[in-house]
Structure 1
Amino acid sequence: MNLPDFEAWAIFATAARLGSFTAVARELALSKPTVSKAITRLETELGTVLFHRTSRKISLSSAGKALLPFAQSIARDGEMAMEAARETTQLLRGRVRLAAPLSFGLSHLAPVLADFMCEFPEITIDVQLSDARVDLVDEGFDLAIRIAELSDSSLRAIPIRKMQGYFIASPDYLARHGHPMEPSELAARDCFLYSNEASPELWHLNGPDGQQLTVRPQCRFQSNNGDIMLPALIAGRGIGYLPDFLCQQAIDSGALKTILPGWRFGELGLNLVMPPSPQRPARVNALIKFLKHGLS
């Protein structure tokens, strides 16, 4: 019985993530022919095609998609074996891919990562900021920060802290249009909608006494980012709902007022989310521990 071609499996996992043999060669410091030969060698051994190739790109075949989780597991286990051989945390090295929301990443995550890089100089960080929800496994992320009420899934999650969300408007807007006393009044008000929700045109709200209500607000402004809403809200252009890390300063200064006390969009929390495997490289665990302390 021949041993598995571990190198080829690891190269296959990297190629599936990067979508290019040239990019794989660059990341792994190999020649492009070496990468191509490894994939061909693996395909010959398996008796199936793993990638469809064109002059411009590669894409996974149906067999490649089915075998990718095994390749990812082989590559991950190899990385963890190498790190387990290192004797001190000062020797931790390698890359961690992290996804985070744009506004929170700039305002809160960036300084924590700066401190982490000082403490772990051999670990490199690849952070992607976007309010879109990424697929951690398919896109090759080690970790993601999510600010949401997490739905049931196979992903592993570590709650960091609860967050408060507020319905907000400027004093000027409220002076001109009055304070809404019930969420149903939002159907006739200028509202700011967050478009990354599954159905942004409908607000599913929970009340202070356990009430549940669905409102179709009147849309004045819509965006996939909450930070861009603040100037227009402060200028008195409508009513929005934002998490505390975005709007607390404006509330404290009086630039915005909270309305509809007790009404909210479910439970809002700051969470670290990871792929389903219970095994993680030591460098990822180091970042998780650092973020739990720095963001709590």
Structure 2
Amino acid sequence: MDQLSAMQTFRRVVDLGSFSAAAEQAGMSHTVLSRQVKNLERHLGTQLLNRTTRRLQPTEAGALFYRHCVQILEQMQAMTLELSEHQQQPTGTLRLGVATAFGELELGRWLADFVERHPRLRIELNCTDRFVDLLEEDVDVCLRVTDHLPDSSLVARRLASSEVVLVASPAYLERHGLPDTPEALAQHPLLGYNRLPHPQRLRLSSATAHQEIQLPQRLSANSPMALRAAAIGGLGIASFDRFIVDDALGDGRLLRILVDWQLPARNLYAVYPQSRYLAPKVRAFLDYVQRYYATPRWLN
């Protein structure tokens, strides 16, 4: 008896609830599958399935055996894939989800290099500011910059920290003055990201104090890139993840304000479905971004 094949058959029958469905999926006859399970029961010396007219149910022994089957078969699959990984180049389509600002400002720095390293890989990019359901939408990896990840079965690998900075344009500060305390900041209009729970609230901290400031809102938007353009255009003060305004700070289009006060930092995560074994394309991508962001990218 091919015990591994019999275990695969038994797992398929339990998962699908009938020999007919299992036979159709496997492309084999009902008789062959039924004989495999009967031989397995004879070999183990116990009944594994209760057979009714409507559905098959595992016995207590069958349920125990099923759990071991799943574990053993997944380990076998993982071993087979892992042994062949060194001979495999990542191939197929890698489906990535990123926030719009990250897609516009960060991917251009390294995505071309990643693709050149893996010429047999195709990239399908989904840029959106909503939280993507990876399993529902068949996304392999999401890159998210956030201060909070919802509880889920997904794996979240932290890649980097992004400080959050307060900025304004030189033209705005020339017209309205430079706020030098959190209290003075409250007199200035805020450009707010309206996807936040409290877009007008800023939590500031220094070495010795913590303050929460409520600012009047001049403009709200659901796009960080639109808010960035508004800040550069001199409409008000705004807070951004550092990577969104790093270039504008570098060339002077925006200036940091209240530099002795900090906003809560956020983190860049690679989020992906939990699996005993990662496909080569996913592993290659995760390893690449882990190495890239190991060097701090957004510095004062």
Tell me whether the two structures share a fold, i.e. TM-score over 0.5: yes
TM-score, length-scaled by structure 1: 0.66
Partner of 1:280: 278
Partner of 2:253: 255
Is the aligned partner of 1:292 residue 2:290? yes
Partner of 1:233: 231
Change (3 A) 1:134 1:185: farther
| CA contact 1:95–1:125 (8 Å) conserved in 2 | yes
Partner of 2:147: 149
Partner of 1:217: 215
Within 2, Cα distance between the matches of 1:132 and 1:291? 22
| CA contact 1:186–1:218 (8 Å) conserved in 2 | no
TM-score, length-scaled by structure 2: 0.66
* Aligned-partner residue type, residue 183 of structure 1: P
Is the aligned partner of 1:267 residue 2:246? no
| 2:137 counterpart SS class | coil
Within 2, Cα distance between the matches of 1:261 and 1:162? 18
Partner of 1:194: 193
| 2:230 counterpart SS class | helix
Within 1, Cα distance between the matches of 2:132 and 2:54? 31
| CA contact 2:88–2:280 (8 Å) conserved in 1 | no
Is the aligned partner of 1:183 residue 2:182? yes
Change (3 A) 1:151 1:117: closer
User: How far 1:166 sits from its partner (Å)?
Assistant: 1.5
**Structure 2 unmatched ranges of 5 or more:** 1-5, 17-23, 26-52, 56-70, 296-300
Within 2, Cα distance between the matches of 1:223 and 1:85? 50
| CA contact 1:156–1:274 (8 Å) conserved in 2 | yes
Which of residues 131, 138, 141 is equivalent to 1:140? 138
**Alpha-carbon deviations, 1:154-179, whole Å to 9, x = none?**
44322222223221112221222222
Change (3 A) 1:255 1:152: same
**Alpha-carbon deviations, 1:89-129, whole Å to 9, x = none?**
54332333221111222222245232222222333322211
User: How far 1:85 sits from its partner (Å)?
Assistant: 5.9
Within 1, Cα distance between the matches of 2:108 and 2:239? 24
**Alpha-carbon deviations, 1:49-79, whole Å to 9, x = none?**
xxxxxxxxxxxxxxxxxxxxxxxx9xx9998
Give the length in aligned residue pairs.
239
Larger Rg: 2
User: How far 1:281 sits from its partner (Å)?
Assistant: 1.9
Within 2, Cα distance between the matches of 1:234 and 1:212? 28
| CA contact 1:189–1:217 (8 Å) conserved in 2 | yes
Within 1, Cα distance between the matches of 2:292 and 2:150? 26
| CA contact 1:79–1:281 (8 Å) conserved in 2 | no
Partner of 1:58: none
Is the aligned partner of 1:171 residue 2:183? no
| 1:168 counterpart SS class | strand
| 1:215 counterpart SS class | strand
Percent identity at matched positions? 25
* Aligned-partner residue type, residue 106 of structure 1: E
Partner of 2:97: 99
User: How far 1:258 sits from its partner (Å)?
Assistant: 1.1
User: How far 1:266 sits from its partner (Å)?
Assistant: 1.1
* Aligned-partner residue type, residue 134 of structure 1: V
Partner of 1:51: none
User: How far 1:80 sits from its partner (Å)?
Assistant: 5.7
Within 1, Cα distance between the matches of 2:284 and 2:252? 40
